[in-house]
Structure 1
Amino acid sequence: MADGTHALPNGHLRTETMSGAEYIAGVLKEEGVKQIIGFPASELFDASAALDIPPLIARTQRVAVNIAEGYARATAGKELAVVTVQYGPGAESAFAGIAQAFNDRVPMLFLPTGYPRGSEAIAPNFESRRNFRHITKWCEAATQVDDLPKLMHAAISRVRNGPPAPVLLELPVDLLAERLDALPTDHRRPRRSVPQAGEREVVDLVESLLSAKTPVILAGQGVLSASATPELVELAELLNIPVMTTPNGKSAFPEDHPLALGTAGRARPATVDHFLEKADVVFALGSSLTRSYYILPVPDDKAILQVTLDEADLGKDYAVAQGVVADAASVLKQMIALIRRDYLPLGERQQPAAEIAAIRAAFMEKWMPLLTSDSMPISPYRVVWEIMQAIDPKTSIVTHDAGNPRDQFCPFYVATTPGSYIGWGKTTQLGSGLGFAIGAKLARPDATVVNLMGESAFGMVGIDFETAVRCNLPVLTIVLRNNVLGGYAKSMPIATTKYGANQVTGNYAPIAEALGGHGECVRDPAQLRPALLRALAKVKAGQAALVEVVTHEEPRLAGLR
């Protein structure tokens, strides 16, 4: 009622108001939020804890956002990932994580507190609403406490719908303390709308693929977000089309499938190069088709068909023959139904599986000497190989860090289950992989979660290994240690030669032990697998683990050298 009274079942009236913070926490409870991630101080932590929503407090704001990203990606955006930080320095320090999530196209709700109203625009106070606008898809601030119901509904609606990206609602601290007459139980949970393609668009997509001589499918993260792997497999098998993935889309198509080509990253298996070169049509499904140093470009002579949720992707970096704004799963279902209804039998179709197998076998034969090398210091490719032998890809989630760990790991690791690999590559902030791994473990506690990173990346975020320990999120972190900034000497040859600018030092296993986890350093390749198995046993028993591997710098990358 307008006067702040509410009718009880017995007909009596009661007066009930709550603070802005309590109202927001109540809405999160209605939304099924399981934890609120961040770094204090935020009035939302206590308000949420009162409703049995536990806080997950990271050691840095950036890693808190990385954890939320890992959580969102491990749940394919089906569960609401919420991050809160303190106004001013907290919001400033979270900027990098939100930028990473924006580039990775990850849906999350970011609720930074704000300076008291009236002082937010006074220099040098940091106003999130102004400064995060270009790395969020919706960026607003609450100015009246009575507006919270519609603002929370609007924010969550935008997290759930349209192109995935972070959504920001700034909450001034004085507003959070004000009382409002509203009940979280009146909040209506926004539902996800799944856009479909038009009938003519579906016909054109199907006919373009059927008339192509050597088409390939490039599957992006949109396939994972739409949980569309079964439909993608069905279409690929129906039309006998090879499938590669983007780095963010790795695991969207099972890489042990006869039609799987692998991931089209900067470093990639020979199957990708071979079939992309001979392709006449590239069907980019659930992909933004972003040009990046870290993503293999599509050659100019290919006809491109693109399906994406974001109309801004169409023609952004490539001229496309046909662009469709729609959900990947919906389009696949429409295409399959049309083919089965109107185009069967298909007649003689190319059978690429044998060709794929032969090229893959030759590629692996070429790289096996490095993957199984007995060199000391240890080859980073031997580390990749031993990880592949030690874990079950069907029950594990793996991720990597930026730079050489990504480029050495991605071409060889075989991701067989959707969501079992968190790949990233358009922007590559060192250290993000640790937070992604912690967030993935938070989302899927039964999974074995493994993160491969270099020592420079560990140097950025290593103290947040303690977050995994303290929050009972046992992940396995593998640190490649070669005492250099891998690959950076070529960008600063004079500084490296004269001053050793690419040199770093340190021992990292003792840090893990000091932070309460299991730590072990490996120097002998023969001891690598036993060390990984010991660490995995510790993880299974509930203790976060770190294996430090002394490696040599390795410049050779698949597809590049």
Structure 2
Amino acid sequence: MRGAEAVVRALEQEGIRYISGFAGGGLAPLWGPLRASTVRPFAARNERLGVEIADGYARATGEVGVAMTGTGPGATNCLTGIAGCYADNVPVLLLMGQHPLRNLGQEWQQEVSASIFDGLCKWRGSFTRVQDIPQVMRRAFTALRSGSPGPVVLEMHQDVLTAEADESVLAYTPVGTPGKSGPADAEVQRAADMLVGASLPVLNAGGGAMSAGAADEVRELAELLSMPVATTIMGKGIFPENHPLSLGGGVYPRSRYASGAAIQINRKADVVLAVGNSFRQPNGTDGRPIPAGVSIIHINADPADINKTYQVDLPMLADAKLALRAIIDAVRQRIGPSGGGIKQEIVDEIRACHEKSEAEWMPRFTDSETPTNGYRVVHELQQLIDPDRTIALHDAGGSRGYVVPFWQTTRPRNFVAMGGMAAMGWSVGAAIGTKLGRPDHLVVHVLGDASFGMTGMDLETASRMGLPILTVVINNGGTGGGMMGMEDPNGTPPEMAVLGGNFSVVANGLGCFSERVEHPEDIRPAFQRAIRATEEGQSALVEVMIRPLPTPEIPDDWSL
């Protein structure tokens, strides 16, 4: 058996179904084995997008995403995609083609070492001998599926892929999913005492709770102790946002896009259970100190996140699902079989906060000015979709502010978010990967015209691969933040802020149904036609012209 065949067979054994990327140097030995494989490869328009397709697939399904790239510039193109996976703890395997071992160090064309990914991946391996391929693949999938997730990069030297070894030497046994680490019993008992003894405990859930599959445990504990729940951007959807205990966004003490309900309730909390969030600044917290008298219990599988921003009262280095299950059992021992339950006064306060916030924002949601604003665009779309059968993605910059605080998500992984790196244009590839993994859902992503200009050509990939996604381009004619500051002598020069382009025309040329909307009353019917197009198997783009608008934050003194 040749080395390339051993690599492909290992992927098959681990249940991999797709590889996205671009054909480049060093990958040729894989083509024969892949053509005979159950693993389906397909080309993106750029290696970065190949990684981001795998990224979206992994975020939407909880499975490992796989991408491939050739040597040199192909590998350097992947840096942005891998950095985003690393920042957000996403399990993506990048297979990197490489020159033969004998040619390294001789300045061959497109010679770039895989070491460029050091510091941006959880583990990096290399095939230096054909007989080592099974061992390296085992280490890769163990890293991808154990502890806190993250990307892995494997460097595949061309001469190793073409080398032969006995089939028994290259036989592969899948590692599956390694066991998770549970919490110490003493920590569980102390956490239960703190929560049961609290006057108003709150629960914050992040991406670690999502990757651990802890949605049932989050809901059970919240309902058991009537704990209001707020999520990070990465954790959005782990708790249904139509639940009476949902605060939406706004983890403790305050994070970006905090809801009015979160601001109101956080002022009263005395114990905070933070599960699977990293307290990353500025999205996970704005860095303000924890008030005196408030205790923090922090559950995380990554020791690097424990005591990172705040020194917490009870750190628990453990899998979120296992830790929550143990805490639930300990709490039930303390309150008895008839104790606990949702308290009506807490539900009433949260509902009143949401109603007040909605009334305050409604003028923007229904704004009739031309051009309109991004909030109305997102609001109109949400009125048309089934939240249980729709997966939404945001992008960088203004689109994140238009979508994240106001899109109501009812099920885990029905909102695919990013935040640690926040690369412009990420949502194009991620939406394609999401549709690849969840084909029975409407997949919609919202991005600005500047972001679309970076990655929009990959709508051709969605069309070619039969992956109908709905792209919403909110076009303010440039970079919104830059345009709003152009009049300031120290602001962004117009030559850097103002951009152009009619992207509905571009999308039509890439095989998509497309419309450009100038007036707000035309937004909803355009969305209806676009959704119908996706249901008929065609990707669609709706470009809505908007005016630049800042993203206001609710003040700290907001209250009922």
1:352 equivalent among 340, 346, 349: 346
Alignment of 1:64-79 (within 5 A): 64-76=50-62, 79=63
1:87 and 2:71 aligned: yes
Task: Indicate which of 137, 141, 163 corresponds to 1:178.
Answer: 163
More displaced stretch, 140-149 vs 509-518: 140-149
SS at match of 1:477: strand
In 2: Cα distance, 1:216 partner to 1:106 partner: 27
1:339-383: CA deviation from partner (whole Å, max 9, x where unpaired): 223332547986411110001100000000100111110121110
C-alpha change, 1:495 and 1:178, in structure 2 (3 Å) is farther
* AA at the equivalent of 1:87: T
Task: Identify the residue that residue 386 of structure 1 maps to in structure 2.
Answer: 380
Which of residues 148, 167, 179 is equivalent to 2:152?
A: 167
Whole-angstrom CA distance in 2 between matches of 1:65 and 1:498: 33
Distance 1:66 1:186, change over 3 A: closer
CA separation in 1, counterparts of 2:341 and 2:94? 52
**Cα-to-partner distance string for 1:76-104 (whole Å, 9 max, x where unaligned):** 2xx33111100111111101100011011
User: 1:399-458: per-residue Cα shift (whole Å, max 9, x none)?
Assistant: 011111111211111100111001222221100011111111000100100000000100
Distance of 1:130 and 1:121 partners within structure 2: 14
The letter of the residue matching 1:533 is Q
Greater Cα offset, 39-48 or 420-429: 39-48
Deviates more, 1:294-303 or 1:176-185: 294-303
Which of 269, 282, 293 in structure 1 is aligned with 2:259? 269
Matched, 1:341 2:333: yes
* Structure 1 residues 444-455: aligned runs within 5 Å: 444-455=438-449
- 8 Å contact 1:269–1:412 — kept in the other structure? no
* Paired position in structure 1 for 2:208: 222
Q: How does 1:130-279 map to 2 (within 5 A)?
A: 130-183=115-168, 186-264=172-250, 265-279=255-269
Instruction: Tell me the secondary structure at the aligned position of residue 93 of structure 2.
Output: strand
CA RMSD of aligned residues (A): 2.0
Aligned-pair CA distance for 1:279: 2.0
Check the 8 A contact 1:522/1:531 in 2, yes or no: yes
Residue 220 to residue 347, structure 1, CA distance change in 2 (3 Å):
closer
CA distance in 2, matches of 1:62, 1:202: 42
| Residue of structure 2 in register with 1:521 after alignment | 516
Change (3 A) 1:332 1:496: closer
Distance 2:419 2:15 in 1: 31
Q: 2:321 aligns with which of 324, 329, 337?
A: 329
CA distance in 1, matches of 2:57, 2:551: 33
C-alpha distance in structure 2 between counterparts of 1:297 and 1:415, whole Å: 27
1:67 to partner: Cα distance: 0.7
C-alpha distance in 1 between matches for 2:107 and 2:270: 56
Residue in structure 2 matching 1:47, options 16, 33, 40: 33
Tell me, yes or no, if the aligned pair for 2:278 and 2:284 is still in contact at 8 Å.
Answer: no
- Paired residue for 1:481? 475
The letter for the 2-side match of 1:281 is V
TM-score normalised by length of structure 1: 0.92
Query: What residue number does 1:117 align with?
Result: 101
Aligned to 2:312: 320
Does the CA contact (< 8 Å) of 2:202 and 2:229 recur in 1? yes
Q: CA deviation at 1:280?
A: 2.1
Contact 1:438/1:475, CA 8 A, preserved across alignment: yes
- The match for 2:302 among 305, 310, 314 is 310
Unaligned runs of 5+ in 1: 1-17
Query: Residue deviations 1:198-254, cap 9 Å, x none?
Result: 111111111111222222111001121122111111100000110000111100110
What's the CA shift for 1:193? 1.2
Question: Matches of 2:4 and 2:555 in 1, distance apart?
Answer: 53
Tell me how far apart the structure 1 counterparts of residues 367 and 553 of structure 2 sit (CA, whole Å). Answer: 16
Change (3 A) 1:503 1:349: closer
- Asked if the contact 2:224/2:342 (under 8 Å) is kept, the reply is no
The residue number in structure 2 matching 1:282 is 272
> Which runs of no fewer than 5 residues in structure 2 stay unpaired?
none
Residue 190 of structure 1 and its aligned partner are, at CA, apart by 3.3
CA distance in 1 between counterparts of 2:226 and 2:284 reads 28
User: Compared with structure 1, are the counterparts of its residues 178 and 349 closer, same or farther at alpha carbon in structure 2 (3 Å cutoff)?
Assistant: closer
Aligned position for 2:19: 36
Out of 527, 539, 545, the position equivalent to 1:550 is 545
For 1:553, give the aligned amino acid: P
Matched, 1:441 2:435: yes
Q: Deviations over 1:14-73 (max 9, x none)?
A: xxxx21111100111111211111111223344222213221210011111111111001
Tell me the SS of whatever aligns to 1:73: helix
User: Which residue of the other structure, out of 516, 530, 533, is the alignment partner of 1:535?
Assistant: 530
Structure 2 residue aligned with 1:21: 4
Contact 1:294 1:426 in 2 (8 A): no
For 1:396 and 1:333, the matched residues in 2 are separated by 29
Whole-angstrom distance in 2 between the partners of 1:545 and 1:99: 29
TM-score normalized with structure 2 length: 0.93
- The structural deviation recorded for 1:107 is 0.8
Structure 2 vs 1, CA of residues 498 and 115 (structure 1 numbering), >3 Å: closer, same or farther? Answer: closer
The one-letter code of the counterpart of 1:342 is R
Task: Tell me, yes or no, if the aligned pair for 1:266 and 1:407 is still in contact at 8 Å.
Answer: no
Amino acid at match of 2:334: D
Q: How far 1:496 sits from its partner (Å)?
A: 5.8
- 2:395 maps to amino acid: D
Call closer, same or farther: CA 1:454–1:326 in 2, change over 3 Å. Answer: same
CA drift of 1:156 comes to: 0.8
Q: Distance in 2 between matches of 1:324 and 1:541?
A: 49
CA distance in 2, matches of 1:161, 1:348: 34
Q: Secondary structure at the match of 2:411?
A: coil
**Secondary structure class of the residue paired with 1:97:** helix
User: 2: distance between equivalents of 1:322 and 1:387?
Assistant: 42
> Displacement, 1:255?
0.3
Q: Distance in 2 between matches of 1:403 and 1:410?
A: 11
| Contact 2:428-2:445 within 8 A present in 1 as well | yes
Where does residue 504 of structure 2 map in the other structure?
Answer: 509
Between 1:248-257 and 1:41-50, the stretch displaced more is: 41-50
Task: Between 257-266 and 439-448, report the one with greater CA deviation.
Answer: 257-266
* Structure 2 CA distance for partners of 1:497 and 1:62, relative to 1, 3 Å: closer
Question: 1:149/1:396 Cα in 2 relative to 1: closer, same or farther (>3 Å)?
Answer: same
CA contact (8 A) 2:147 2:319 kept: no
Residue 530 of structure 2 aligns with an amino acid whose one-letter code is A
2:341 and 2:514 mapped to 1: Cα distance?
57
Give, as a single letter, the amino acid of the residue that structure 1 aligns with 2:462.
Answer: A
